[in-house]
Amino acid sequence: MRRGESAERTARQPQRRRWRGTVTAEEYDNYFCSYGELLHQKDMLDDKARMDAYFSAIRGNAANFEGKVVLDLGCGTGVLALFAAQAGARKVYAVEATSVAKHAEAMALSNGLSGVVTVIEGTIEEVGLPEQVDIIVSEWMGHFLLRESMIDSLLFARDKFLKSDGAMYPSSARMFLAPASYTDDELEMKGPTFEQKVEDWNEFVAEWMDAHGLDLSSLTHTYTEEARKAYLGGSQGVEIEVSDLLGPPVCVKEIDLLTATLEECSHVRHDDEALAMKLFAPGNGGEGGSGGRLP
C-alpha cells in the first residue's frame, strides 16, 4: 500500500516523541548490545515464516522495487536490503544502530551488491540520508508487536524520508491475544549444545544459499565465537507450542503504518469484560468450547 492511496493524514504534524535516537549506556546494555551479536541475529533469520514472508513480499514484487530508492531501517545483517537490491532497487540505504552494521557491509560485499547497498551505522534520528526514499522496509516488530518501541523510529523515518507517494513493507500490523496454559514441568529447559549450534549454523548457511541466493559465510567465524561464549555454560529459553493455546487468537490492535501517529501506537485500550468474553467464549476455548484446557 502506498501513502497516496490512504486518506490524507495530518501532514507532517509534530508527534509526541519518546526517544530522540541517542543511545545511552543503559539503553545499550539493556537492549542494543544483544542486537550487535550474530547469535541474536541468527534467531531472527531462522524464523522461516517471517523471512519467507519478507522474501516473497520483496522479491515477489520486483516491479515495485525496480529503479527505486529503498531504506532498510534497523537492517541487522542486511538481508532485507539485499533482497531489495536483488529485486532491482537503484539504491538501498541500510541503517543499523549497532555494530552488526559491519556484518551488513560484509554481506553486501560478499554478495556483490556493495555498489547498490550503502550501510549506515547509527540511529535513523541521528543520521542523514542524501535523498528521499520510495520504499521503507523494516523488521521492526518486537515481542507482543510493540515491546521494543522501534515503531517510534519507523514513524520518524516515514515522516522525514518517505516520499508522499511512497510505500512501506509491511504497511500494516495487528496485535492478537489468546488464552494459554503452561505447566511448570513444561518449562523445563532443554537447550542445544555448542556443537549443535555450530552444525545448525552451517546447515543454515547452505539453506540460505539454496533458497535465497545469499552467501552468509562471512558471518560464520563471529557466530561460532558468540555461540562458544553463550552455550558453554549459558542459559536457554523456551517457546510455547500451538498445543498450549486454549483457543484461537483475538485481534486487539490494528495499525496502519502509512497513517498512524505515535500517540495511536502508544497504548492498547480494550474493555476487559468484552475482551474476556471474546477470549473465553464457547467455541473459542472457553467453557463449553473445544479450544483446549482451562487454566
- Amino acid 249: pLDDT: 87
Which residue, 44, 78, 37, is CA-closest to 58? 78
Q: What is the pLDDT of residues 214-232, one digit of tens each?
A: 999 999 999 999 888 877 7
Which residue would you say has higher pLDDT here, 38 or 61? 61
Angstrom distance (rounded) from CA 208 to CA 39 = 16
Angstrom distance (rounded) from CA 110 to CA 72 = 18
The whole-number average pLDDT for the span 187-204 is: 79
Residues 51, 83: contact at Cβ < 8 Å?
no
Active-site residue set: 139, 148
- Mean pLDDT taken over the chain: 81
Please identify which residue in the block is written with the cell numbers 516520499. 163
* pTM reported for the whole predicted model: 0.70
Residues 97, 19: contact at Cβ < 8 Å?
no
Angstrom distance (rounded) from CA 226 to CA 165 = 42
Question: Rounded to 5, what percent of the chain is helix, strand, coil?
Answer: 40, 15, 45
pLDDT at 180 over 90: no
Angstrom distance (rounded) from CA 231 to CA 199 = 13
Angstrom distance (rounded) from CA 186 to CA 295 = 14
- Amino acid 280: pLDDT: 66
Helix (H) or strand (E) holding 94: strand 91-96
Angstrom distance (rounded) from CA 176 to CA 159 = 27
Q: What is the pLDDT of residues 106-121, one digit of tens each?
A: 999 999 999 999 999 9
Which residue, 85, 63, 59, 61, is CA-closest to 72? 85
* Range among 22-36, 153-167, 252-266 with highest mean pLDDT value: 153-167
The full set of domains in the chain, from first to last, is 25-173 (3.40.50.150), 184-233 (no CATH)
Cα atoms in the Cβ-side hemisphere of radius 13 Å centred on 41: 27
Question: In whole angstroms, what separates CA 267 from the centre of its chain?
Answer: 20
CB-based burial label for 81 (10 Å; 0-12, 13-18, 19+)? buried
Q: Which three cell numbers stand for residue 162?
A: 518517505
Q: Which three cell numbers stand for residue 146?
A: 510493540
Q: Give percent of the chain with pLDDT exceeding 90.
A: 49
SS3 274: helix
Which residue would you say has higher pLDDT here, 85 or 176? 85
Where does the pLDDT of residue 64 fall: very low under 50, low under 70, confident under 90, or very high at 90 and above? very high
Q: What is the pLDDT of residues 128-142, one digit of tens each?
A: 899 999 999 999 987
Which residue would you say has higher pLDDT here, 146 or 86? 86
Where does the pLDDT of residue 244 fall: very low under 50, low under 70, confident under 90, or very high at 90 and above? confident
Pairing mode of beta strands 250-256, 172-177: antiparallel
